[in-house]
Amino acid sequence: MVRGHYRVLEFVSLALSSCLSYGNKYVIKFEARTNELGSRHTDHGSANGDTDPRVDRTHKNSVEQKEKKDDKDQKEQKEVPSVPSSSSSPKTSNNGRRRLADNDTVTLKDLLKNEKIGDKKWIVEYSDDDFDKLRPAKKAESSKSNSDKQSHEDSLINEVKRIFAQSEAQSRTISDDIKDITRFEIRHDLSKQQLFVVLIRSLYEDATWEKVNKDLVKREKLFKKFVDSSQDQIAFLRSWEKFLLQHNRPLAAMLFKMFYDRDYVEEDSVLDWYGQSNESNEVRKKCEIFVNWLKNAEEEESD
């Protein structure tokens, strides 16, 4: 009986031992499997940037804050005219004002008008002082400009009068006068027409026709020194045209014919001046007879 109980206990002990051994085997396998899965999860998380759950929550909160900030910026941008998106966006200077990229060529006129430039329309912020600097200076009144111009011309005329007065007092030659007038022309950087206007007014402002005719013969060498090219000849005729209009001299046709006869000007230069002159010009009208005479003479020579 006792031996039977002993065998039962031995069998139960053996069974329990087998169960424990078998259970430990599965526990070991379970732990190994768990460690393997954990290792794979760690490697996969490292590859995808996953971290500890606490880190995930921190990252999630950061992303949510960034999204909220972006939404706020978008709402603020809706209230201000948007700047076009481009690879070369406007740069910002130290004072906070917008400026164009270095590779953009835009004039201040375009910026002030806020005109469309290519496929971009920039918004440039300027202070009141900047706008005052960029605004073009106000033009002086025409009357003041004309007054200054006339005053300058009068000053030049007085200087030439002094040159000729000293020449007569010292009995200087025409060659000396040519040198003095050349220096005068260069010193004041005058065009040929400006020079002729000053010479004519300084010599013949109050002269009679007889004196003009006589003096032009006397100073023929002087004038011809400066009346060189065809353009100089046209400028010479225009200067006399201006002088005759201002002084209401009636003998324009005789004077222009005298210029032609003494080879001050050529026929083509007279015709060019006549074609360029205003048709309502009184000097042009008075010279019409002389010009028609030139045209008829040219036709007769061609026949």
| pLDDT of 89 | 46
Is the Cβ–Cβ distance between 179 and 225 less than 8 Å? no
pLDDT by position in tens, the chain (length 303) = 545 555 556 655 665 565 555 545 544 554 555 555 555 544 444 444 544 555 456 556 666 776 776 776 666 655 544 444 444 444 444 444 444 444 455 555 554 454 444 444 444 454 666 555 555 555 444 445 677 888 898 999 999 999 999 999 999 999 999 999 999 999 999 999 999 999 999 999 888 888 898 999 999 999 999 998 999 999 999 999 999 998 877 789 999 999 999 999 999 999 999 999 998 899 999 999 999 999 988 777 766
Written as six digits, the tokens of 242 are: 């201006």
| pLDDT of 141 | 43
As a CATH number, domain 155-302 is 1.25.40.180
Three state DSSP letters for 190-222: CCHHHHHHHHHHHHHCCCCHHHHHHHHHHCHHH
Is the Cβ–Cβ distance between 291 and 241 less than 8 Å? no
| pLDDT of 250 | 74
| pLDDT of 204 | 93
What is the domain partition of the chain in residue ranges?
A: 155-302
In sequence order, what DSSP letters do the residues of 71-100 get, joined into one string?
HHHHHHHHHSPPPPP-SSPPEE-TTS-EE-
| pLDDT of 52 | 52
* Buried b / exposed e along 102-138 (16+ C-beta atoms within 10 A): eeeeeeeeebeeeeeeeebebebeeeeeeeeeeeeee
